[in-house]
Structure 1
Amino acid sequence: MPGVWFDELEVGQVFKHPIRRTITETDNVLFTTMTHNPAQLHLDEHYMQTESEYGQRLVNSTFTLALMVGISVNDTTLGTAVANLGWDEVRFPKPLFHGDTVRIETEVLDLRESKSRPGQGIVTFQHRAYNQHDELVASCKRTGLQHMKPKGAK
């Protein structure tokens, strides 16, 4: 099991996730249309070339958020998560474009044992996404409920 048990996490611990992902036009268009988002920013190349400061379509920020969290799962919560409790302070300081490659880092910000769920704890992660130029393109805090290591588990 790749994930980490709640009681194996430490505040300040940083995960530099090895998976990197180049975002394609298909990723952006498919995600945008699957979520019924009609924004010209993501779908209309001509509009973006002629009417926007960017000159090209932007990657859907909700896709960026999902990718940022998804890449983190294998190293942090795969097989150890009970539930995702929420996302806070979601930010997109720079846009992503088709062909950009993202890498993700995750930092453990806070840990507390659950008062109502024995054997579980609440963890707050800070996820950060960077493009191929090492520019911060997205960040969020994610709070989740996580299992503690079962007695006798290795």
Structure 2
Amino acid sequence: MSDIETVGLGFYWEDLPVGRKFKTVGRTVTEADVVAFVSCTGMLEVLFINTEFQKHESAIQGRVAPGALAYTFAEGLLVQATMQGTGFAFLHMEMDIKGPTHVGDTVHVECEVIECRESKSRPGFGLVRTRNRVVNQNGDVVLVYTPLRMVKGRGGAH
């Protein structure tokens, strides 16, 4: 039925003026997440796979997750909430890991649009840069990154 609205679709670039802020729902990092992530990426560093090293030699206490896992969780939360059907390309980013993410932490993303303009090279699309702060349940910022994305416009670009 074409007269039924589809929910969960992404923002168009015109919906993202500079200064707009929003946040995602949270997601808890589990032991299974860390094991699966380090296994599938090959990040088999002792910091992530050796509990004796973690207990006795690591400078970071507790069961820590790779910063790359925190980043990919943030991207997953954002894709689900803001880019379904409208996200076109991930073009660039700068990233700064501010602190550790541990098993048991619940993270969410606080997003602020810091640049938004129509694409000159791709009519019907816009370029949107956001400042994404990955925040844990204690309010600690564990990661900040600034992706530049190409986003579909309302004009029906394909």
TM-score, structure 2 normalization = 0.89
> How far 1:150 sits from its partner (Å)?
2.7
Which of structure 1's runs of 4+ aligned residues deviate more than 3 A?
none
Correspondence 1:130 to 2:135: yes
> For residue 65 of structure 1, what is the amino acid of its counterpart?
Y
* Aligned twin of 1:143: 148
Correspondence 1:12 to 2:29: no
- Match runs of 1:5-154 below 5 Å: 5-17=12-24, 19-88=25-94, 90-150=95-155
Output the CA distance in 1 between the equivalents of 2:62 and 2:52.
8
> How far 1:139 sits from its partner (Å)?
1.1
Output the CA distance in 2 between the equivalents of 1:56 and 1:35.
21
> For residue 7 of structure 1, what is the amino acid of its counterpart?
E
Output the CA distance in 2 between the equivalents of 1:123 and 1:55.
37
Task: Count the aligned residue pairs.
Answer: 149
Q: What do residues 8-50 of structure 1 show as CA deviations (whole Å, max 9, x unaligned)?
A: 2110101111x21110011011101110112111111110101
Output the CA distance in 2 between the equivalents of 1:16 and 1:82.
21
SS at 1:83 equivalent: strand
> How far 1:86 sits from its partner (Å)?
1.8
Output the CA distance in 2 between the equivalents of 1:148 and 1:51.
51
| Structure 1: segments with no counterpart, 5+ residues | none
Percent identity (aligned): 32
Bigger mean CA deviation after superposition, 66-75 or 92-101: 66-75
> How far 1:120 sits from its partner (Å)?
0.6
CA RMSD of aligned residues (A): 1.3
Output the CA distance in 2 between the equivalents of 1:69 and 1:132.
18
Output the CA distance in 2 between the equivalents of 1:4 and 1:110.
15
Output the CA distance in 1 between the equivalents of 2:15 and 2:28.
31
